[in-house]
Structures are given as C-alpha cells and as structure tokens.
Structure 1
C-alpha cells in the first residue's frame, strides 16, 4: 500500500471535547430563562442540520433551531430563542480538553507527516477550540467544512485540505470518530480512514480502527 505523508484530523470528539456537555448547558439555559425543559439535547442535535443552509453562524442556527423546537410544542418561538441565547451565554468554546492520547498522537505524526484539521463547524467556534489545545501549532492547515468547502461527507473539503498540504488522496489518512461524516467522506475522496472506535460494528468499514488516539503513536499504516 502507498506510503502516507499527510494526516487530516477531525476536531470535535476526535481531538477534543467540551468540558461541559450539551445536556448540562441546555439544563442551565432552561434554568436561566426560568422555564421547565421542553426538549432535550438529542432533539436539538437531530434538528441541527435543517438550519445550516439558512443561517450564517452557530448562534443564529441555534436560535432558529430552538425556535422551531418551541413551535413544535406549541410554545412561543421567541421563548426558544431566549433559551438559545442563554445556552450561548453559558457555552465557552475555549473550554475544551484534548481526548486521551491526542497530544501524543499529534506529536508523533508531526515528526514525519504533514497535518491538517478538517472540521464541520463555524470558523469562529472551531478556531476557539483549536486555539485552546496545546498542540495547535502542529497543523499546517485548517478547513472549516460547510464554510471553506461543502460539509463532510462530501469529498471536496478533503481535497481542499490536501491541496493546502500539497498532498494527494492516495498518500493521506483521515482520522475521525463519525461513521456518517468522517469515514464515508474519506472514502468518497479516495482517502484512507482511521476511525476512533466507539465499540460498535462500523458501517462503512474503515481502513483502520483505533481504540484510542494513542494507537497512532505507532501508525497502523506503517504495519
């Protein structure tokens, strides 16, 4: 198999995670507004993508999503927007921590690979997260899919990232945790996939399975 000289990393739940999860923040937001919770974080996540095309940033997207969730429950949409504003006030995008093994993996791969971040997410929000990570300077490029290029799993953001690295798909690997965006997107772009396993049976099947990012300190493509 062709040697690998470029590695693309997903960001959320691959390199880092929030110290305070969405469920905790949503509960705090309802408390701040002074109403009993009338939807859960899973319902928010299920509706999220509906509002991508019609909103310009994460704050506006969440406001319109929460407004729709309120209307679905015969609540005033402005109440949903108030909950969204409270959620945004509680959220600190810089309050993230690296996933176990992330620092070791990035340090090891940076020694002989060109690295980039390829993330679905608004540039302002994702830049705050990346800036909070101790290994942020290891990445030569960052592509905000959905803004710089179409969202994963479309192949275009992978090709854009590789162009920035002066790399080719057949000599690249994408590392990510999602079987709906990261793995199929990599395959569509002709890039090998390294999946950060959640213990499930993957579909589609990635090229490499990672128990944790520590597995990348001995890259599986060198075996």
Structure 2
C-alpha cells in the first residue's frame, strides 16, 4: 500500500457504466437509421484509439462510425446518419456506479487530493457526474477541450492540468483507469503511477500499469 498526495480517476468504465444495455442501444441506432447493423459494441470500443481529436460528441461519433464502417467494408458515408440517431437515443444520465466506485472515492478523499481526468466533453460528462451525485467529489475536474489545449489521454495535457490544480508532483500521484492506451500510457508518460482496472475488453498489453485491479472493490489495497 502506497501513500499519495493526489489520486486521479477516469470516469467511463472506471467509476461508472451505462445502466442501459450497449447492444440494445446500438441495435436501435441502426434500426432507426434504416441501416443493416455492421458492428458490435466491442468493435466500436476497439476503434476509439484510432480516432482523431475532435471538439464535439457529434464529431466523435461520426468519426467512430466512419472508422468501423471502413473496417467492415461499408460506405463510411453512413456515419452521419448513425451518429445522429445514436445521439438521439443515448441518455448520458443513464449511468450507474461500477462496483466499489463509491467506496474508492471516499477512501481516496481521506488520503489526498482527488482529481477527475476524463476523455469526454464537459457538458456530457457533467450530466453523468450529476446523475451519480459526485459533481463535487473532486478537487479538480479535467475534461477534453482541444480548443483550450486539453487533448484526450494519452496526451499529457490533462494530467498536467490536474497535477497543477492539485499542487502535486508526478511521483506522488496515482491515476486510476480502465484503458491501457489512454490511462496507463498517459500516466506512464508523465511518470505517474497507474492503477489499471481490467474490464475484460482484451486490450493490447503495450503499456504496463503499476497496479492491476479486477475492480475498484480492491482499491484500498493499493492506496
């Protein structure tokens, strides 16, 4: 167990998850768009690291569906309609805590400054925080804002912003997240310890975390 001055968390698939079934949402998206379904939720997740940096949720999903369409040998031009239908159907407030998340946040707050570093826009992610009643649970919240120079993880900018606000050094900070590509690689680049939550999505093992957790239920064993 280590002592840290600052503890930072990712949001999606780390502290929370959708309370609606991802497969059902995707099926309804394709049905409403009148397009034969050519991908699964897992294939959407796998395409995320290949996407360019964008400013809005709509741009993100348009690029996401275009990328997956290309991989499935489908005309990427369907992406605009799919992005529109997806955004019509999704509900950012339909989220629930991941196992152990509430206790992990309380545990962290007793031991140092607490930050949120999320690869999501302020508006959408704030709706999730409010739905979970944890908007005020963090000493600093860092959202993706390319226009302000805050690019998505693994870029170091969001980590730098969080550490500056928390007045913490990299060697006294740990970042907790579910993505080896974004959370662990970004933390490693900053010299920050990382706690990776293995969600079973079969990610590449190119980046080695400091700690591996099956869930946040065992978070108190490392901090």
Measured against the shorter chain, the TM-score band is: 0.7 to 0.9
3-state SS in 1 of match to 2:7: strand
Distance 2:141 2:199 in 1: 25
Structure 2: 5+ residue runs without aligned partners? none
CA RMSD, Structure 1 to Structure 2 (Å): 2.8
Q: Which has the larger radius of gyration?
A: 1
Equivalent in the alignment of 2:6: 6
Equivalent in the alignment of 1:141: 140
Asked if 1:195 corresponds to 2:196, the answer is yes
Superposed counterparts of 1:99-118, under 5 Å: 99-118=98-117
Q: For the Cα contact (< 8 Å) 2:184–2:207, is it kept in 1?
A: yes
Distance 2:199 2:38 in 1: 29
TM-score with structure 1 length normalisation?
Answer: 0.84
Distance 1:3 1:95 in 2: 34
Distance 1:98 1:202 in 2: 26
CA shift, 1:174, in A, is 0.4
Q: For the Cα contact (< 8 Å) 1:117–1:143, is it kept in 2?
A: yes
Q: Are residues 88 and 212 of structure 1, via their aligned partners in 2, closer, same or farther at CA, if it must alter by over 3 Å?
A: same
Asked if 1:170 corresponds to 2:174, the answer is no
1:139-176 per-position Cα deviation (integer Å, ceiling 9, x unaligned): 01111145352221122321210101111111111011
Instruction: Number of aligned residue pairs: give it.
Output: 218
Distance 2:73 2:115 in 1: 42
Q: Are residues 174 and 29 of structure 1, via their aligned partners in 2, closer, same or farther at CA, if it must alter by over 3 Å?
A: same
Equivalent in the alignment of 1:155: 156
3-state SS in 2 of match to 1:138: coil
Distance 1:61 1:136 in 2: 24
Structure 1: 5+ residue runs without aligned partners? none
Asked if 1:206 corresponds to 2:196, the answer is no
CA shift, 1:9, in A, is 0.2
TM-score with structure 2 length normalisation?
Answer: 0.84
